[in-house]
Amino acid sequence: MLSQQLANGLEYLARHMVLLPEPYPGCILFFTVAAENKAASVFHVRATTLEAAWREGATRVRQWAWARKRDEVDLRIDWVQDITPLEADSPLPDCRAWTEMPLRSLALADASLERAQLLHPLLPDPPQGGAAGAPDDEPPLPRPLHPPCLLLHLRGMYISGEHPALAVPRTDPPQQRLWPHLVPVHAAVQQLLAQQGKEGSWPGCEDVCDHLGVTYALLQAQRHAGSAALAQAIALAMGHVEQRLQPLPGDCLSGALAMLVLARHLRNSFVLGPGADSQARARIPALMDPLAESLLSTAAASASATKAEAAAHADASRSGQPLLSWAELAMHAYASSRPPTSDSPTLRAARSALPETAVLPAAFLQAALPPLLRMPGGPDDRPGGQADDPCARWIGIALVESLQLDAGLEPQPTDLLRQWQIGLQRHLQALAQRAIWPEQALYLPPARRRHAAFADASLRQVLQSPREIAWLLASSLAGLELLDALAQALRSAASHAVAETEPEHETEGEGEGEAVPAQAGNGPDADGSPARACLPGARDGEAAGRPAFSPAAGTLYPSMSWEGHALAELMNGRWLDAPSAQGRGTGTCCAGLDASRLHHQPGAAVLVRRAGMALGVQAAALPTLRASALISSSPQGLLHHGVPVLHVPDIQEGLRSLAQAARRRIQAPVIAVSGCVGKTSTLGMLRQCLQDGGDARGDALLSQGTALQMINWSEAAPCALLELPLQALRGDLPLIDPDILVITNLSINDIPSTGDSEQCGPAGLSACRKYEALQEVVEAMQHMHKGSALVIEQDIGENPCIIENAQRMGMRLITFGPHSNAQVREMGFHNGNLQISIDNRRLGISLQSDGHHMARNAQAALAAMHALGYAPAQVQASLAHWRPLIGAGQPQLLPSGICLLDHSLSNHLLSMHAAFSQLQEHAPHVSRRLIVLAGIQPGQVSMDTAQLALEPLVRAAQARRVLLYGEPLRQLAAALADLLHVNWYDDLNQLICSLLRTTHKGDTVLLAGRATTNLALAADAIRDSFSGHGAHLIASSPAIRFDPHQNQMNMHY
């Protein structure tokens, strides 16, 4: 088994590892080997070649396994892919700050790379052995390494048992990092069930409050993950509770906890039905009456003692308040568990002793939230006597119970609600750090590794005692429920603010007898009255009606500004001030966040690209920008730029956290456009309708990630418009929480390779693909909120499953297309004239954008505007004036009589279908057609195989010449070898030279695809050469006598 593991490891390294450049040694490997009941050993080797490094490392692994008599191990191998020098005068990096998130892997080393030390995520002091074969009790290496001169960026693989090699650090889907997925309900419940004794108790929970807390955590989890085994465990725990009710201590907290447990168990028996304890309905009420009497007397005695202390000490009046609040919650639970018609002396006394329910939740929340947020780790890890305070330990139970009251949260200032919200998110993030992957769990000591609870979804949760498990579970679920309540409170506050301003607007409008003239994208309905339809974004009483637009056409909306302290807090970073910017970090104000040099906005923070990052500005280009701050995961060497530097250990997680904060600040409707094709064009049409046009910076943002789009949006804009890649649809939908989701097309990854395959083009979807598309839409709908709208083509929207899900979730469904049942129905399209029917009204729009694919995008944009409450007549003029971006297929007639169809931005099969249809319309004679192809992006097949889907299009086009470019199209060229007019090139300059020679007046040139290269260079060459001023250059050039590739048949290997 060990030999097979090592063979798999070597094969993986040979495929993925890249040697380091000079002056570093070519290969540096870190080996981590562990086994059951054995501590992990870590060592590193360095050599000029992989073979030499592997020979030494594999030998030491075999020695380690032989010394411990193991035939298989848990093996992790990391290699160094980049090295960052550390400045001599800079402070040493904090190991935990560098590795706060599990998706990072780093190490420190000295200048000679003789000594190196891994930085383990989440583990403050991991056991690191010396050489392989050393005994288990060998002391760990000193930490931190002195003096560390180099920071090593690692990638690696992990092998356990017979499982295949796993890449580390992982690049998991974003949706796995959302709050609901970070609460280990299943793992915690399974571990609590496994540790429960036969009498119903748990080890380490002899204190009655701890037993009650664990029992309540199970009852709370039963609402999320009920099962027969869980119901049986709860019955055993409740039996143990009933036995301890009589000798219950006389303090208020234990009695209140017991009352809350009994009330929760009673509620579960009614709500959960057969899966819960049905006998509790008859047994529990009799146990609650004497407990209520005891609580009333205890609370009265505590109140008297508090008043007596208050007379002697002015500040002592608050000392008994938390216990009194526990008693009040218990009395509320007791009173609410009885029918309103029930009456008894104890019940009457309990009801009379209660304060007004409208003020209790907020007041208790103010007292309960601070101790919850001061607990970043488990209660067993807290210093001093804080770990023994049951009132603080089980404060999550009080939060859950306070949120059960019908009154909800008392109105609070918006700033305070946001402060609570940010604090809770950071608290939940701290809890989430306790979730680690298998490749990290091997660094745990054997005792902790044995007792770790592992979740089914590959999450491994470090859980020790039952009390810690229950605390983590109760705190996580309480935090999630409180986040929902705070979000509702913030929406209610926004709704209240809008309601206060509405009368002012109505007063201003009174007495004006003249109607405002309708304008494109801005104005009243056709009947002269303002649009009254409620926006999907008006959740729970938010502002209804269409947004107020800026009166100035073409106005640039400023990006969202961010204060320095907010940036650091939201991105979980730390400010490092440059010598010339002392103290400016926290006071910095950034006008947006730029991740590219293009369209840089002065005053924006700039994200610095480092090794392994796909976005950001290179450090060498920073002097050309006017940044207010720099953001980087590796701040070394950035302080000399004279601006503050924000050190963010995990850039991706920091951007997502900042995007969530941006979403909370945006009060206008959020519209997201997704699909395999047509996203950018549909967004452009919407921007034309809503903002009377766009700007270059906004266009550049659409090509960046979803988080960056949200962060840079303007709070002053009438709507937030975002382009959402289809592959990131389910992961990013919860991040942006759109009010309107537009899906232009879902015919993805369906690339037929033969003429017999059922086509999935504009004519319709195949049965198999349609089922997959339905599942994608249904899963996306699960992430949308009540009151939102889904705009989708009729092929998908007519399915009963989609309709049923929309009704169940309270969503609006708006469809478009040529079908008779579509709400925005296409009645006809010819020569750019689109005829539609909407709300039983016919409308004609003359589009400047060419092609039927643009007409479909216009229908999607009209459906989105309809969802916003706009009449078609309001946006008719705006759509008529919109023109697509260069490279989106807009025909261009050059002065020399050549028509250019530039589809260099297209990379999907459906876009190719549209491009070839456009070619046939503009060049009915096949002798006038020239085609240049650079390929499409693959779906579920390889890059080379995907290009074969273009073969039927090329054959049907019957063009005079077809030029193929790039290695991915080599197989396509071979498939078309029988066509002598098809030529393949591996050099773009040679292709352009051949194209310019053979293009004549009256030709129509189609450039499409960008599998590996953007054909914009070829399009620019045609424009420059045939625009009148450059044509003579081609004609007079003596160097171009013949095409050097033309005499090599049509294949050029």
Closest by CA to 100, choosing from 119, 73, 118, is 119
Domain-embedded: residue 912: yes
Per-residue pLDDT, averaged over 747-761, amounts to 40
Domain-embedded: residue 1043: no
At residue 929, the pLDDT reads: 93
Q: Is the pLDDT of residue 364 over 80?
A: no
Burial class (CB in 10 A: 0-12, 13-18, 19+), 308: exposed
Domain end marker among 884, 901, 919: 884
In our burial notation (b when 16+ CB lie closer than 10 A, e otherwise), range 725-758 reads ebebbbbbbbbbbbbbbbbbbbbbbbbbeeeeee
Q: Is the pLDDT of residue 133 over 60?
A: no
Per-residue pLDDT, averaged over 106-122, amounts to 78
pLDDT tens per residue, range 32-65: 999 888 888 999 999 989 999 999 999 999 999 9
Please indicate, yes or no, whether residues 164 and 238 belong to a single structural domain of this protein. no
Q: Is 139 helix (H, G, I), strand (E, B) or coil?
A: coil
Please indicate, yes or no, whether residues 107 and 200 belong to a single structural domain of this protein. no
pLDDT tens per residue, range 214-267: 998 898 888 776 678 888 899 899 888 888 776 666 667 888 888 888 888 888
Higher-pLDDT residue of 741 and 496 is: 741
Domain-embedded: residue 741: yes
**Residue found under tokens 């180099």:** 150
Per-residue pLDDT, averaged over 1020-1045, amounts to 50
Q: Which of 94-98, 586-590, 875-879, 926-930 has the highest mean pLDDT?
A: 926-930
Please indicate, yes or no, whether residues 789 and 913 belong to a single structural domain of this protein. no
Please indicate, yes or no, whether residues 770 and 820 belong to a single structural domain of this protein. yes
Per-residue pLDDT, averaged over 448-455, amounts to 54
Please indicate, yes or no, whether residues 429 and 575 belong to a single structural domain of this protein. no
pLDDT tens per residue, range 218-233: 988 887 766 788 888 9
Strand partners, 673: 723, 742
Residue 235 Cα distances to 203, 226, 276, 287, 1005, angstroms: 18, 13, 9, 15, 77
Would you place residue 183 in the very low, low, confident or very high pLDDT band (cuts 50, 70, 90)?
A: low
At residue 479, the pLDDT reads: 75
Would you place residue 696 in the very low, low, confident or very high pLDDT band (cuts 50, 70, 90)?
A: low
Q: Which of 203-212, 453-462, 701-710 has the highest mean pLDDT?
A: 203-212
> Which positions ≥6 away from 808 have C-beta within 8 Å?
none
Instruction: Look at the chain and report how many structural domains it folds into.
Output: 5
**Residue found under tokens 């891994």:** 118
Please indicate, yes or no, whether residues 867 and 977 belong to a single structural domain of this protein. no
As a whole number, the mean pLDDT across the chain is 73
Please indicate, yes or no, whether residues 108 and 91 belong to a single structural domain of this protein. yes
Residue 676 Cα distances to 692, 854, 859, angstroms: 26, 14, 16
Domain-embedded: residue 506: no
Higher-pLDDT residue of 219 and 451 is: 219
Domain at 863, CATH number: 3.40.1190.10
Share of the chain above pLDDT 90, in %: 12
At residue 816, the pLDDT reads: 92
Domain-embedded: residue 1041: no
pLDDT tens per residue, range 425-443: 766 665 655 555 677 778 8
At residue 61, the pLDDT reads: 94
Please indicate, yes or no, whether residues 614 and 682 belong to a single structural domain of this protein. no
Domain-embedded: residue 736: yes
pLDDT tens per residue, range 2-23: 888 999 999 999 888 888 877 7
Share of the chain above pLDDT 70, in %: 66
Closest by CA to 683, choosing from 741, 631, 638, is 741
Domain end marker among 171, 193, 212: 171
Per-residue pLDDT, averaged over 812-837, amounts to 88
At residue 542, the pLDDT reads: 34
Region of residue 561 (left: phi > 0; alpha: psi -120 to 50; beta: else)? beta
pLDDT tens per residue, range 932-974: 999 888 766 788 888 888 999 999 999 999 999 988 898 999 9
CB contact at 8 A, 396 and 475: yes
Domain-embedded: residue 314: no
Please indicate, yes or no, whether residues 852 and 963 belong to a single structural domain of this protein. no
Domain-embedded: residue 554: no
Domain at 989, CATH number: 3.90.190.20
Q: Is the pLDDT of residue 663 over 80?
A: yes
Per-residue pLDDT, averaged over 985-991, amounts to 86
pLDDT tens per residue, range 811-824: 999 999 988 888 89
Domain end marker among 606, 641, 665: 665
Range of the structural domain that residue 787 is part of: 666-884
Please indicate, yes or no, whether residues 571 and 463 belong to a single structural domain of this protein. no
Per-residue pLDDT, averaged over 628-649, amounts to 87
Whole-model pTM: value is 0.47
DSSP state of 673: E
Please indicate, yes or no, whether residues 854 and 897 belong to a single structural domain of this protein. no
Higher-pLDDT residue of 308 and 986 is: 986
Please indicate, yes or no, whether residues 238 and 127 belong to a single structural domain of this protein. no
